[in-house]
Every structure is written in C-alpha cells, then in structure tokens.
C-alpha cells in the first residue's frame, strides 16, 4: 500500500497546485471584471447625475439642485453623494493637478490612503456661478471585499470537493490496480524465495504489473525446469560417483590380494601341519587339545582378515555417524600391513589422542585413507617409512588433521598441480588407474573438509586431510 499512498499523495498535491492556481486566476479575473464593472457603472451613473443636476441648476436654481442631490443620496444608501466646490482651497482627496483637471471639465477618480479603501469620483457640473462645482461620489470597498471573499469561498469549496472526489477515486484505483497486484507480487516473490515455484500468479490487467507477473511466471517455470534438471543430473552424478568409488575400492582390493594371500599363508601352513598330525593319529590327550586350540586361533585370524577385506570392498551409501577416528586409522593400517610387509615398508602411527570421536562415514574415510597409504607404499623405497599422524589444528581450518607422510621420491610442482585429477597417474601401465586420489578428494570434500599435498623431489610427500570436528563424542588424550 505504500505505492498507492505515494500515488495518492502525488496526485493530490498536483490537484491542489492546479486547483489553487486556477482559483487564484479566477479570483484575479473576477476581481478585475468587478472593478471594471463598478468603474463603468460609476462613470455612467455619475455623468448622468452631473448632467441632471446641471439642468436643475439652470432651470430651478442652486438650492433646488442641491436638494435634488440630497434626495438621490437618501434613496441610494450604498453611495455617498455630496456637492463640493473646487476652488483655491486645498482638498485632502485631490491634488492640485486633479483639481485643475476638474476645473477643465474632466472626471477624476481617487482612492483614500486609509484602511477603509474609499474610492472618490468627482464629476464636474456646469453652473452659472463663477466657482467650479462637482459631485463627489464615494463608495467604500467593503462591497468589493465581500465579492472577492465570496469568490474565494466558492473556489475553496469547489477545490475541496474536487480533492475529496479525486482522493477517493485515486484510493479505489490504487487499491485495485496497484496495491492488490503489488501485494500479490510480493507474496509470490516470498514463495519463490522459500523454494515454492508452483502456482502461477494471475493478474487480469494489461499494464506494467501484469507484464511483471508474466515475467515472474516465466522465471518460475524456467527455475522449476532447471531445478528438475539439476536434481536429475545430481542423482546421476551421485550414482556415477558411487560406482567410481566402488570400482576404486575393488581395484585397491586387487592390489591388496597378494599381500593378504601371503598373510594367510602362515596360518594356513600351521593349520595344515596340525591337522595332518591329528589325521595320522599322532596327537593324544593334552597335546591334541593344544593343537586343536592353535588350529581354531589361526582359523579365526584368517576369517578376520578375509572379513576386513570383504567389508572394505563392499559398496555402501554414505552414512555419517560418530566414529572413533583413532580406531579407524588403526584398523586401516592393520588391513594394509601385509602389502607394506611385501614391499618391506614400515608403518608408524602418531596421535594426539587415544580416541577421538568425529561425525563421518567410516567406510568412505577408510577408503580415502587407504588410497593415500597405498600411494605412499608405492612411492616409498624398500626399508622406507610411512607415517600416519592424527593431530588437532587451529587457524584457517580448525579441526582434525589426518596426515600420511612417506619417505619416497617426492613430486615436482607440475605433478602436484594434477595429482587430484581423475585418471592422472605417474605409475606404469597396469599398475594404477589414476582414480585413488580423485576419489579421496571427493570424499573429503563431501565431509566438509580439505585435502592438501606438499612434496619436494627426493624428500617424500605429505598428504593432509583436514576434517571439521562435528561430534558430541568424548575425546581421550594420549598418554605423554
């Protein structure tokens, strides 16, 4: 309604200015016409009266002429008619030049200087006397003022009536054609801001507001189409990303297979040896029981290794929950230890806590960490060291830093610039897909974190995952 109020205010101001100017011009014109009419009437009446008095003076004498003038004065109370002699005496209403004009037979009109604003008109009368006589006709301007005030009142009443009519019409027009459509546009904009793109806005008017409504409806249709398109693309992207991660997970499982096979070889040999003794009947009593317990322990060890490998390779949707990050790193290192032993690379784990709980998807973070550690193993030479660190960090990215440090050959600037690109790899053909680091990058980003790399040729590389601490779980500090 603010726009309607502004519209009415501007319209009323315009009407007041136009009406006021028109009233002033009308009053001015009416005043001039009234004054002109009064002047003509006085001139005609005064000249006729002067001629009549002159004839009476000649035919019946001075006394009869003056008596006739007095009778006329009594019959017209609005006028003050008096006989005056224009002689050498000074008259307060006349100047010397005006008196001379009257003596020469000319009519003279003067105004008094007092606040009553009396108009004096002198009409010379031809007499037989040696002195010059004249009829002085005077009239106060009170009647003139009353006429002007009447015209002003009429103009003000007309202007007020016009103001009320125009204000009412403007208010009705403003409400129906400005206020209500504007309120509908605002409500539609608020719904759009809240994400509701349904329900077209219908304004049955062919003006600028109607054009805005049509444009808003077209915008909502376009936004709805784009939102559906983005949703479909997002769904497809998520599905493709899940497939990519699963493929990368299976690739990592394949790389770990040889190391795990070696790890399973030792307990299998123990089981086979003890089972062979039992089959030959060479074990009796307590010895047979001890060997059976050894077989069971080695079998459980093998089952645990296989279960970890299956859990790692299984595809799953992202499910964030509170998890102990220290325990997750420990399990990952245990899973990758056979691959490290195969290449004769040592593991080292450093942590500021004995346990720290973080809101994350365990499977995804384990996959990202596994990719970093596997790359570190491949980059590290025999008898090298891969160190995994968990530390609390502050500054630009406050939270938890999970770092994987190797003593490998390192990378140059060009390689670091492309290390997270999909399918980029420095390994020989058949040794890597180039997806591990790009998958890790995507996982960390989905967790609201950042992954960074620092390296120099010949001095190893450090991959750091920064995760926000979003958990209500307890944290246990590591022993000093």
Give per-residue pLDDT as tens, 230-263.
888 877 877 776 777 666 666 666 655 655 665 5
For residues 375-414, one letter each, b for 16 or more C-beta atoms within 10 angstroms of the residue's C-beta and e for the rest, the string is bbbbbbeeebbbbbbbeeeeeeeebbbbbbbbbbbbbeee
- Please choose, from the candidates 437, 466, 464, the residue with its C-alpha nearest in 3D space to the C-alpha of residue 449: 466
Residue 113: pLDDT above 50?
Answer: no
Per DSSP bridges, beta strands 385-393 and 399-406 are: antiparallel
Cα separation of 77 and 37, whole Å?
19
* Beta bridge mates, 84: 134
Looking up tokens 């040794």 gives 431
The reported pLDDT for the residue numbered 181 is 76
Which pLDDT value is given to residue 459?
Answer: 87
Residues 253 and 309 sit within 8 Å (Cβ to Cβ): yes
Q: Phi-psi bin for 410: left (phi > 0), alpha (psi -120 to 50), beta?
A: left
Question: If we measure between CA atoms, which residue out of 363, 288, 376 comes closest to residue 332?
Answer: 363
Highest mean pLDDT among 14-18, 36-40, 121-125, 138-142: 121-125
Tokens 């317990």 locate to 293
Q: What is the pLDDT of residue 402?
A: 94
> What pLDDT, on a 0 to 100 scale, did the predictor assign at position 129?
64
Q: Which domains does the chain have, with CATH numbers?
A: 2-150 (3.30.450.20), 225-315 (1.10.287.130), 321-480 (3.30.565.10)
The answer, yes or no, to whether residue 321 has pLDDT greater than 70, is: yes
Q: Examine the pLDDT at 43 and tell me if it is beyond 60.
A: yes
* 54-83 pLDDT tens trace: 888 888 888 888 888 888 877 777 677 888
Give pTM, 2 decimals. Answer: 0.43
């Amino acid at each position: 309604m603010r726009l309607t109020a502004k519209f009415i205010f501007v319209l009323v101001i315009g009407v007041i200015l136009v009406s006021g100017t028109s009233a002033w011009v009308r009053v001015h014109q009416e005043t001039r016409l009234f004054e002109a009419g009064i002047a003509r009437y006085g001139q005609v009446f005064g000249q006729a009266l002067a001629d009549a008095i002159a004839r009476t003076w000649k035919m019946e004498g001075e006394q009869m002429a003056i008596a006739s003038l007095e009778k006329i004065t009594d019959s017209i109370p609005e006028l003050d008619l008096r006989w005056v002699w224009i002689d050498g005496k000074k008259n307060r209403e006349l100047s010397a030049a005006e008196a001379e004009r009257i003596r020469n037979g000319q009519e003279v009109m003067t105004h008094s200087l007092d606040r009553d604003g009396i108009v004096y008109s002198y009409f010379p009368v031809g007499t037989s006397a040696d002195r010059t006589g004249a009829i002085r006709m005077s009239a106060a301007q009170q009647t003139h003022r009353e006429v002007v005030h009447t015209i002003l009142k009429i103009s003000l009443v007309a202007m007020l009536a016009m103001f009320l009519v125009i204000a009412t019409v403007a208010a009705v027009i403003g409400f129906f054609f400005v206020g209500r459509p504007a309120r509908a546009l605002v409500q539609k904009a608020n719904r759009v801001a809240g994400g509701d793109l349904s329900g077209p806005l219908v304004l049955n008017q062919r003006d600028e507001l109607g054009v805005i409504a049509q444009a808003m409806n077209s915008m909502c249709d376009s936004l709805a189409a784009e939102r559906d398109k983005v949703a479909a693309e997002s769904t497809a992207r998520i599905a493709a990303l899940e497939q990519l991660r699963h493929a990368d997970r299976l690739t990592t499982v394949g790389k770990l297979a040889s190391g795990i096979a070696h790890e399973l070889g030792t307990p299998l040999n123990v089981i086979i040896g003890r089972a062979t003794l039992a089959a030959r009947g060479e074990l009796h009593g307590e010895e047979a029981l001890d060997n059976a317990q050894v077989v069971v322990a080695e079998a459980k060890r093998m089952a645990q290794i296989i279960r970890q490998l299956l859990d790692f390779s299984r595809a799953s949707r992202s499910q964030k929950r509170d998890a102990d990050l220290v325990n997750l790193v420990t399990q990952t290192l245990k899973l990758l230890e056979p691959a490290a032993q195969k290449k004769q690379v040592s593991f080292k784990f450093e942590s500021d806590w004995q346990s720290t709980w973080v809101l994350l998807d365990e499977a995804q973070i384990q996959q990202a960490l596994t990719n970093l550690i596997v790359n570190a193993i491949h980059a590290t030479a025999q008898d090298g060291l891969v160190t995994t660190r968990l530390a609390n960090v502050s500054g630009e990215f406050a939270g938890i830093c999970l770092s994987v440090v190797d003593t490998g050959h390192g990378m140059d600037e060009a390689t670091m610039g492309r290390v997270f690109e999909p399918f980029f790899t420095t390994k020989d053909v058949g040794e890597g897909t180039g997806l591990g680091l790009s998958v890790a990058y995507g996982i960390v980003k989905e967790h609201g974190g950042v992954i960074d790399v620092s390296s120099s040729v010949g001095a190893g590389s450090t991959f750091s995952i920064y995760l926000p601490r979003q958990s209500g779980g307890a944290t246990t500090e590591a022993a000093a």
